[in-house]
C-alpha cells in the first residue's frame, strides 16, 4: 500500500514537472523568435510562468523570419 502511494506521488511530481517545463521547451524549439528575443521569453517564463506563455502565443510573431530562396 505504501509503495503504491509513493509511486503515485512520484508520478504526480513528474507530471507537474513536465507541465511546468512544457512552455519553456516549446518556446526554445519555436521558430517564431530567435536569439536574444527567445532568451527574454524563456526568462519571462521562469518569473511569470503560464501568464508569459499566453502572452508569448499572442505577441511573439512580432516579425516574420526571412525565408532564403
Give the number of other Cβ atoms within 10 Å of residue 33's Cβ: 20
pLDDT of residue 36: 87
- Within a domain: 69: no
Residue 41's domain comprises 21-60
Top pLDDT among 4 and 14 is at 14
Give the number of other Cβ atoms within 10 Å of residue 10's Cβ: 10
Q: Contact, 14 vs 24, CB < 8 A?
A: no
- Within a domain: 2: no
The domain total for the chain is 1
Arithmetic mean of pLDDT over the chain: 76
- Residue range 32-47: average pLDDT? 82
pLDDT of residue 4: 58
- Within a domain: 12: no
> CB under 8 Å to 49, separation ≥6 — which residues?
20, 23
- Within a domain: 42: yes
- Within a domain: 43: yes
CA distance 27 to 39: 9
- Within a domain: 8: no
pLDDT of residue 64: 60
Amino acid at each position: 500500500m505504501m509503495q503504491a502511494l509513493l509511486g503515485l506521488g512520484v508520478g504526480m511530481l513528474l507530471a507537474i514537472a513536465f507541465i511546468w517545463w512544457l512552455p519553456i521547451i516549446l518556446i526554445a524549439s519555436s521558430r517564431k523568435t530567435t536569439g536574444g528575443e527567445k532568451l527574454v521569453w524563456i526568462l519571462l517564463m521562469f518569473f511569470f510562468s503560464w501568464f508569459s506563455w499566453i502572452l508569448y502565443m499572442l505577441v511573439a510573431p512580432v516579425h516574420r523570419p526571412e525565408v532564403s530562396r
